[in-house]
Amino acid sequence: MSNKVAVYRKEHFNAAHRLYNSQWSDEQNAAVFGKCSLPNYHGHNYEVEVRVTGEIDEATGFVMDMKKLSDLLQEKVLVKFDHKNLNLDTEEFRSLNPTAENIVIVIYNLLRPHIETSLDLFIRLYETPRNFVEYPVFIK
């Protein structure tokens, strides 16, 4: 068995959003998204778990320094989304509907270029303690 280990770091950000498809009428948005589509936004305490998987470095005993993983999340993700309105304040969600599914892929794409290519990356995003998503799906 290889000595691959998965390392997680969890952070949070607070943001406003609404679910909205700009190509639909307001009636259609209300019918599909319900109160999640109300025009003046609502918000969440998002929790984001980042998993990095790879071989342990023998000198450090680390797959990746969790402190550096935390700093990376801060610099590449939280600085963009924390205390922001996802629909109005971010280029990523100007035309993309900020569902949890779309947010988790955006976070993955923001982090992926900054993690060594030998390491796998996976994200779990909590919109609430009872609603959450994961990306990518490695099996099924």
Q: Tell me if residue 36 is catalytic.
A: yes
44 is an active site residue? no
Task: In angstroms, give the least distance from the CB of 87 to its own copies.
Answer: 8
| Closest CB 100 distance from its own copies, rounded Å | 7
Q: Name which of residues 50 to 89 contact its own copies (CB under 8 A).
A: 51, 53, 56, 59-63, 65-67, 82-85, 88-89
Task: Please give the C-alpha separations between residue 49 and each of 46, 126, 127, 138, in angstroms, as whole numbers.
Answer: 10, 8, 12, 16
Binding test (CB under 8 A) with its own copies, winner from 26, 31, 74, 136: 136
Residues 6+ apart with CB under 8 A from 127: 44, 46, 100, 133
Find the binding residues for its own copies in span 11-30 (CB under 8 A): 11-12, 14-17, 19, 21, 24
> Which amino acid, one-letter code, is at 11?
E
Of 11, 36, 49, 92, the catalytic one is 36
Asked whether position 114 contacts its own copies by CB under 8 A, the answer is no
DSSP alpha helices (H): ranges in 9-138? 26-33, 66-73, 79-81, 86-89, 100-111
**Residue 92 backbone phi and psi in degrees, to 5:** -60, -35
From 12, 42, 55, 83, active-site residue: 83
Cα separation, 72 vs 128, whole angstroms:
23
- Sole binder of its own copies in the list 75, 77, 94, 96 (CB under 8 A): 96
Instruction: For the CB of residue 98, give the shortest distance to its own copies in the complex, in Å.
Output: 8
Going by C-alpha positions, the residue among 135, 132, 11 that lies closest to residue 82 is 11
Tell me the catalytic residues. 36, 83, 127
